[in-house]
Amino acid sequence: MRPAIKYGIWIAIGAVVLIGAFSLFSGGENAVEVRVAEVTMGEIRKTVLNTRAGTVDACRRARMSPSSPGQIAGLPVAEGDAVKEGQVLLEIWNEDLKSEIELSQRNLVADQSRAAESCTRSDLAAREAVRLARLHEDNLVSEEELERAEAEREARAASCKAARDSASAAEARVQVNRARLERTYLRSPFNGVIAEINGELGEYVTPSPVGVATLPTVDVIDNTCLYITAPIDEVDAPLVQAGQEARILLDAFPDQFFPGFVRRVAPYVLDLEKQARTVEIEAEINEPERYGLMPGYSADVEVIVDVRDEALRVPTEAVVEDERIMVLNTGTGLLEERPVEIGLGNWEFTEIVKGATNGELVVLSLDRAGVEPGAPAVRAAE
C-alpha cells in the first residue's frame, strides 16, 4: 500500500472518530436526565391486594354490661389494665344477696342436722325390726308386735328420705342465691386488656334494652390475636385460600410490614351498589403483642399466592401496561424501547422472563418529557 493512501485512511478514521465524539458531546448537552434501576436477580412474589382499606380488630372482644341493674360498688380495674380470665372487673351493690346466702347456708346446716337425726332413728328402727323378726321365728313375740316394728321401720325410713330431700332443697337454694350474687359481678371472659370503662363508683347502671345499642360498661380486648377484614377483587378471589401467607401494612407504620396469614375467605361475592364486586377475606397478624399493635388501625393486606426465589426482576414502575420497558444503553447513551415477556409480579417488582438481561438499566421516570426511543439520556444523580 502506498504511503499516501495509508495516510489518507488514517485521516478518514480520525475524522469519523471526531464526528462521533462531537455528536455524543452535542447530544450530552441535550440529554434528558432519567431515574434508572438495575435489572437484578432476586426473590419475587405474586400477590393479591385488597381493593379498599380494612380495619384491625380483635379476634375476641367483650363489650359487657351487668345483667341486672344496680349501683357500682366495686371497680377494681382501670383502662389499659391487663386482666386474667375470671378476674372481677366490676361489682354491683349486693349486700342483700350476700345476707340471703348466709341465711340459706345456715338453713342448709339445720336441715342437714335434722336429716342426720332422722336417719339415725331410721337405722335404729330397722335394727329393731330385724331383732323382732328373729324373736318371732322362735315364737317369742307376737305377730302384732312384729308388724308394728315393720311399720315403724318404714315410717322412719320415709322420714329420713324426706329430711335428706329437704337438705338437698336447702343446698339448691344456696346455689340459687350464689347464682343471683354472681350476676352482680362482671368477670373477664378471657385474658386481655381493658379498652374502655363507662361508669364510676356509685353510679347506677342498667342492662342494655333488647334491640337498643348502648355503650358497654366494660370493654375487654384480647390483644394477642388481631385480624383484618378487607375486600379483594372478585377476579383475584380464586387465587386466595385460607392458610396462605400474608403481609399487613398499617398506615400508622408506613415503612413496616407485619407477617400474617389468611384465616378466612368469604364464600360469596359482595354486590354493593356503585362499587366493584368484591370478596371479603380475613388476615390474622402473627404475634401482634410483639409489636404493640391495637385494634382500630387502618390496614391493607397483601396475600402472597406464589413465590420465586431467583428471578430476573425490575421495579414494577418500569413496566408499561402493554409489557414494554425503556432501557438506557450505557454504550450509546440512547434510550431503547423493548417488548418484554413478564412472569410473576407485585406492586414492587415484576419478573422479566424475556427481553432483558441482568445488569441492564431500566428507566423509571417514564413520564418525563423527552423520554422516548432513540433519545439521548443520562442517569440522574441519586
| DSSP symbols for 13-65 | HHHHHHHHHHHHHHHHHHPEEE-EEE-EEEEEEEEEEBSS-EEEEESSEEEE-
Looking at the DSSP bridge assignments, the partners of residue 14 are none
Residue 17: per-residue pLDDT: 44
φ, ψ for residue 114, nearest 5 deg: -65, -40
Residue 322: per-residue pLDDT: 80
Please say if the pLDDT value at position 24 is more than 90. Answer: no
Please say if the pLDDT value at position 222 is more than 80. Answer: yes
Between CA 30 and CA 185 the distance in angstroms is 80
Higher per-residue confidence, 168 vs 321: 168
Average pLDDT, the chain: 87
Residue 22: per-residue pLDDT: 39
Instruction: Name the grid cell of 160.
Output: 329420713
Residue 139: per-residue pLDDT: 85
Residue 348: per-residue pLDDT: 86
Residue 15: per-residue pLDDT: 45
Contact (Cβ atoms closer than 8 angstroms) between residue 205 and residue 252 = no
- Give the highest mean pLDDT range of 42-56, 112-126, 259-273: 112-126
Going by C-beta distance under 8 Å and a sequence separation of 6 or more, which residues neighbour residue 8? none
Between CA 34 and CA 258 the distance in angstroms is 33
Residue 18: per-residue pLDDT: 44
Within this chain, domains 36-58+222-379 and 62-93+190-221 share the same CATH topology: no
Higher per-residue confidence, 29 vs 242: 242
Q: What is the mean pLDDT of residues 169-177?
A: 94
Going by CATH, does the domain composed of 36-58+222-379 fall within 1.10.3720.10?
no
Between CA 338 and CA 361 the distance in angstroms is 12
pTM of the predicted protein model? 0.62
Q: What confidence tens digit (pLDDT) does each residue in 288-338 have?
A: 888 888 888 899 999 998 888 899 999 999 998 889 999 999 889 999 999
Query: How far from chain centre, in Å, is Cα 130?
Result: 72
Query: How far from chain centre, in Å, is Cα 294?
Result: 11
Q: Do you know the residue count of the chain?
A: 382
Give percent of the chain with pLDDT exceeding 70: 91
Per CATH, which fold does 62-93+190-221 belong to?
OB fold (Dihydrolipoamide Acetyltransferase, E2P) (2.40.50)
Please say if the pLDDT value at position 141 is more than 50. Answer: yes
Residue 271: per-residue pLDDT: 80
Please say if the pLDDT value at position 5 is more than 70. Answer: no
Residue 273 pLDDT class (50, 70, 90 cuts): low
Residue 11: per-residue pLDDT: 53
Per DSSP, the three-state class of 235 is coil
Residue 274: per-residue pLDDT: 66
97 to 76, 90, 94: CA distances (angstroms): 20, 16, 5
Higher per-residue confidence, 133 vs 10: 133
Give percent of the chain with pLDDT exceeding 90: 58
Q: Where exactly are the structural domains of the chain?
A: 36-58+222-379, 62-93+190-221, 95-182
Residue 174: per-residue pLDDT: 94
Q: What confidence tens digit (pLDDT) does each residue in 66-77 have?
A: 888 899 999 999
Q: What confidence tens digit (pLDDT) does each residue in 76-100 have?
A: 999 989 999 999 999 999 999 999 9
Q: What confidence tens digit (pLDDT) does each residue in 325-355 have?
A: 999 998 899 999 999 999 888 888 999 999 9
Contact (Cβ atoms closer than 8 angstroms) between residue 319 and residue 325 = yes
